[in-house]
Amino acid sequence: MSAYGFDTLAIHAGARPDPATGARQTPIYQTTAYVFRDADHAAALFNLQEVGFIYSRLTNPTVSVLQERIATLEGGVGAVCCSSGHAAQIMALFPLMRPGCNVVASTRLYGGTYTQLTHTIRRFGWEAKFVDLDDLAALEAAIDGNTRAVFCESIANPGGYVTDIPAVAEVTRRAGVPLIVDNTSATPWLCRPLEQGADLVVHSTTKYLTGNGTVTGGCIVDSGKFDWSASGKFPSLSEPEVAYHGLRFHETFGPMAFTFHGIAVGLRDLGMTMAPTTAFQTLLGIETLSLRMERHVQNAEKVAAWLEARPEVEFVTYAGLPSSPYHDRAKRLYSKGAGALFTFALRGGYEACVRFVDAVELFSHVANLGDARSLIIHSASTTHRQLTPEQQIASGAAPNVVRLSIGIENVDDLIADLEQALVKAVG
Ligand SMILES: *Cc1c(COP(=O)(O)O)cnc(C)c1O
């Protein structure tokens, strides 16, 4: 299948006409359980000796098609879908971490991820250390004997920053820890982190992959290349699993170890399962991913250039603009553009930003991104509210900054809406 081009795979990967009915579109398998052929079949499934369907907390045929589709588009060997992007992050870390272990994460992250890593994971006895990934020496110094992963975003939310994944991957490879890249904002259409040296990719499928703001979902894709047995640091994958009669995932499943563990232990015990109707919606979305992303990027480039020339605007942080310090890096690593998520600073600070989000008419003021609709948010008063002002600035969500997620509408209409709102907000 993967000999086909990206646009073909976005429509066909993982799917085949339904064996029972010939249905051409992937059906929604709205069932909790699956009838075993006989007692031996049931035993083989429960022993992980045969791959099949037992119970929809673990596997479901509609969700399986989506898993194979995303794994193929990312160039991975397998994928596990789950209930949200945040669930995917926990599911990705879960097999790697133990109490006392840490993850080294980029300072430039989605606000919710920053909160999850700063506060919530501490309750599991895990810890996060944050470093500026432009400082590779600081990254290397932050990785210690208890580090089990490095985490970053490809195009970092709230936009304007692109991670040099090959350079970061070089450091993590030397240190013997896996690199996890959140590829939500770029999507595999713009960036395939596994080809650039990452070991695992996570997604909030809620965003561009679904593309219409209807369902929340997440996904973890494995490159299949990390050696989980080499260091003794990843016993969940390399050592006997008591709950499966002493089975060793890495020894038994090889490159599929992480994926099988994610389903057989992760979904089984954490239960962050994706619903089949959600998988169906996301499959429909991915069919048009290439067309949408092309328009998202075209529109974003035009809107960003227009904003940068306006007197009410102090600066625009979009790696697609020549003024961006990340312009060359984006050109090198993201050949089709720098995405459609960026921020700009308004003269008039916090107050002007609040007036601006109230004045837009076509843009929707929502805490979301990657919708066909254009979206706007003032991060400092919403998604990044829990952060200190210093953390807000470090993560690109300073009080005078507004974030745009540019949709696929007529770009002239978007610009007209921003123009009338600028006049109202700044005067
Ligand atoms: C939205 C988002 C998340 C969280 O995903 P949910 O589906 O909302 O749980 C994580 N990372 C990034 C970059 C996001 O945009």
Residue scoring higher pLDDT (398 or 6): 6
- Residues 53, 238: contact at Cβ < 8 Å? no
Q: How far is the CA of 117 from the centre of ligand 1 (A)?
A: 13
Residue 254 DSSP SS3: helix
Architecture of domain 289-426: Alpha-Beta Complex (3.90)
Closest CA to 228 of 218, 220, 238: 238
Instruction: Answer whether residue 286 shows pLDDT above 90.
Output: yes
Q: How far is the CA of 229 from the centre of ligand 1 (A)?
A: 30
Instruction: Answer whether residue 281 shows pLDDT above 90.
Output: yes
* Residue 2's pLDDT band (cuts 50, 70, 90): low
* Residue 145's pLDDT band (cuts 50, 70, 90): very high
Write out the CATH class of domain 6-285.
Answer: alpha beta
Report the percent of the chain where pLDDT is more than 70.
Answer: 100
- Locate CATH 3.40.640.10 in the chain: 6-285
Instruction: Using the structure block, give the residue that is written with the tokens 């770009």.
Output: 411
- Locate CATH 3.90.1150.10 in the chain: 289-426
Instruction: Answer whether residue 223 shows pLDDT above 90.
Output: yes
Residue scoring higher pLDDT (18 or 427): 18
Instruction: Using the structure block, give the residue that is written with the tokens 């499966």.
Output: 244
Closest CA to 47 of 259, 252, 258: 252
Per-residue pLDDT, 404: 97
Closest CA to 151 of 205, 201, 77: 201
Q: How far is the CA of 85 from the centre of ligand 1 (A)?
A: 5
Instruction: Answer whether residue 82 shows pLDDT above 60.
Output: yes
Per-residue pLDDT, 395: 72
Q: Ligand 1 pocket: which of 184, 185, 377 to mutate (most atoms <8 Å of CB)?
A: 184
Instruction: Using the structure block, give the residue that is written with the tokens 């926990």.
Output: 90
- Residues 194, 162: contact at Cβ < 8 Å? no
Per-residue pLDDT, 427: 77
Q: How far is the CA of 325 from the centre of ligand 1 (A)?
A: 25
Per-residue pLDDT, 1: 55
Please indicate, yes or no, whether the overall pTM of this predicted structure exceeds 0.85: yes
Per-residue pLDDT, 394: 75
Mean pLDDT, residues 260-284 taken together = 97
Ligand 1 atom closest to the CA of 86, numbered from 1: 9
Q: Ligand 1 pocket: which of 109, 151, 191, 207 to mutate (most atoms <8 Å of CB)?
A: 207
Q: How far is the CA of 218 from the centre of ligand 1 (A)?
A: 8
The residues lining ligand 1, judged by C-beta closer than 6 Å to any ligand atom, are 84-86, 110, 112-113, 153, 157, 182, 184-185, 204, 206-207, 216, 218, 369
Per-residue pLDDT, 382: 86
Work out the mean pLDDT of the chain and round it to a whole number.
95
